[in-house]
Structure 1
Amino acid sequence: MDRNDYRGIFVIVTTPFTDDFRLDEAALERTLDFCLAAGVHGVVANALASEGFYLSEAERRRAAEIVVNKAKGKVPVIIAVSAPHYHLAVEFARHAEQIGADAVMSLPPTLHPSSPADIKAHYKAIGAATALPLVIQNVSGQGASPLSAGLIAELVSEIPTARFVKEESGYPAQTVGEIIRLCGDKLEGVMGGKAGKTLMEEVRHGVSGTMPACEIADVHVALWNAIEAKDDKRARNIFQRLLPLLDMESNYGMPLMKEVLKARGVIPSAAVRQSGFRALDAAARAEAAAIMDDLADLMLPAYTHRR
């Protein structure tokens, strides 16, 4: 298996719905148009910020097909295949390979905490199902068991296709460093998560990129480009300006992501299937708009927000 240079901003593609909560395929294509125009370095479908667990199996397959068809050959395409049991995750992984995805990503078994043996069985089954590189996603919450750096190193050592990690557990920056130290050359890269809120610290530990939601993909790309250019002053300026919106995202979750995409003219509806978050009220929308005003010079002119 050839080594892959997965580096930069790999956005989690939001799954748009109509106002009556049906999958909006045209809006999904427009979302991809926006992400590609923003200069992202990769795209990820059916992950947590895609509301992947709120899609039917048929919708997950269809969304994966749309994303692959639109982005294949332009940037690497990763399909999230997370599921409560590896039987279903394997089916999603095989479908991803059949349609031409470049890699798959999975959480540990979801819904309930799992033993290390169960976690290993889960990832080994996915790894054996296809020849695609496997991204191990390590996250706190979401019903999955957070993985220690040591267990991740064992998975990488025992599963030939386990080549990447998305790290967003309790202390992600330090864990990034521990994973890189323990895995060495067996691992091709570790990406951050948590909307990029800890990216600047993660860079000090050798992170190869981050996987944020896509509503401000162009701003995240500007941040990463400054980091890669070693322009610390510009990178810190962008990061500090970006943090207020990321804080709102941490609080409001999916409703904030979709409200921003709607305000920017990317999607027509901010409908959300995921439960557990409050919708933005008029004050929250006004605050988000004010923050976007501060970021407007970093946004694509065709996708500046609409008040």
Structure 2
Amino acid sequence: MPASATAEPRPISGVCPVLATPFDDDSVPDAPGLARIAEFAIRCGADALVYPGVASEVEQLSDSERNDLLDVLAATAHGRVPLIVGATAEQLRATMLHLDKAASLGAAAAMVMAPARLAGDTAALIDYYRSLAEATEVPIMLQNAPPPAGAGFDMSAIARVVSEVPAVRYVKEETMPCGQHISALLATREIGDAPHFIGVLGGAGGRYILDELARGALGTMPACELTDIHVTMVAAWHAGNRSFARTLYNRSLPLLNFQAVFRWAMTKEVLKRRGVIWGAHVRAPGPRLDRQDEAELGIMLAEISDLLADFSPRGEFPIPVKNAESNQKEAR
């Protein structure tokens, strides 16, 4: 295991987008496209990059594709932003192999979803994460997602895992209502007595980001198509400009609601329209945009065009990403 995997990384916080997996028209992973998505997120100000996750169509990737794409991503992110490696798999042995990959890349954390098959069995959940902890020195992020993808454990169960498995340093909480669950988790005695625990991050596509921050979340892990807006929003929040953060939230929420329906198809279409990737092919099952949806998406993007950085086909930002202060002045 490399020294970078054992060194204590800086705490994860802020905006940590889950990157999409681009495919060409033949459904082959587009490695240069993933590098461009990573570059886009980094230049937008992302605090860390997450890959692969649900928003990456991870269930549609083979292990070899997954590893090859992680190599591309790690090369792009190296020395610039931390990498959070998604290590979720159906079988424990496969998850451990993904943890090995995370360690080899010097990941800041490995995100592992609480398996749906363990739903309701807290003792089995503790044993599961204890087994993972014994297999790696990479900090573990427990992803608590609702069914059908995850098990949707209650906060008392998650708190027990954190308390009994010190390698679990973070929780990504996505069960509804996310905000209330974040408050409940942070208020548990087990969390209060766990000095190794760093904190909770929100997910759920960023649709509840301000409520999560208000309740003590360290940050958010949304999809990646609006990273620049999310970075500006979170910066405004932490700077005390809650009104401007709310304005950004309200203006971007229609797109996030649209993304909740169309998921990967919408994320990739936005990235394509923003000049980040060349195509919007999707492997995962789910609804696709028809002509009216595409027209509606264009209207929504036009309505927030003043908030979006420009990412040209040359890979440059002719219009630099704006900070919260300059955006606030222009919004007046």
**Interval of TM-score (by shorter of Structure 1 and Structure 2):** over 0.9
Following superposition, the deviation at residue 202 of structure 1 comes to 1.2
Structure 1 runs not aligned, ≥5 long: none
Following superposition, the deviation at residue 2 of structure 1 comes to 3.9
Which of 8, 14, 22 is the matching residue for 2:20?
A: 14
Distance in 1 separating the partners of 2:181 and 2:28 = 38
Following superposition, the deviation at residue 87 of structure 1 comes to 1.2
Distance in 1 separating the partners of 2:72 and 2:163 = 33
SS of 1:106's equivalent?
Answer: strand
The 5-angstrom pairing of residues 203-282 of structure 1 reads 203-275=213-285, 277-282=286-291
Q: What is the RMSD of the two structures over their aligned residues, measured on CA atoms?
A: 1.6
The letter for the 2-side match of 1:85 is Q
Aligned position for 2:66: 60
Aligned position for 1:188: 198
SS of 2:66's equivalent?
Answer: helix
Which of 104, 114, 136 is the matching residue for 2:110?
A: 104
TM-score, normalization: structure 2?
0.87
Aligned position for 1:300: 309
**1:119-147: CA deviations, max 9, x gaps?**
22221222221111100001112332111
Which of 295, 299, 302 is the matching residue for 1:290?
A: 299
Query: Does the 8 Å contact 1:180/1:187 carry over to 2?
Result: no
Which of 151, 156, 167 is the matching residue for 1:150?
A: 156
Query: Does the 8 Å contact 1:84/1:111 carry over to 2?
Result: no
Q: Which moved more, 1:177-186 or 1:217-226?
A: 177-186
The 5-angstrom pairing of residues 4-43 of structure 1 reads 4-43=10-49
Distance in 1 separating the partners of 2:117 and 2:39 = 33
Following superposition, the deviation at residue 110 of structure 1 comes to 4.4
Distance in 2 separating the partners of 1:3 and 1:28 = 24
SS of 1:12's equivalent?
Answer: coil
Aligned position for 1:129: 135
Q: How many residues align?
A: 303
SS of 2:216's equivalent?
Answer: coil
Query: Does the 8 Å contact 1:3/1:188 carry over to 2?
Result: no
Distance in 1 separating the partners of 2:148 and 2:80 = 31
Distance in 2 separating the partners of 1:42 and 1:59 = 21
Q: Which moved more, 1:180-189 or 1:9-18?
A: 180-189
Following superposition, the deviation at residue 237 of structure 1 comes to 0.5
Query: Does the 8 Å contact 1:83/1:110 carry over to 2?
Result: no
Query: Does the 8 Å contact 1:8/1:210 carry over to 2?
Result: yes
SS of 1:268's equivalent?
Answer: coil
SS of 1:166's equivalent?
Answer: strand
SS of 1:191's equivalent?
Answer: strand
**1:109-168: CA deviations, max 9, x gaps?**
246746223322221222221111100001112332111111111111111210001111
TM-score, normalization: structure 1?
0.94
Structure 2 runs not aligned, ≥5 long: 1-6, 318-332
Following superposition, the deviation at residue 31 of structure 1 comes to 0.6
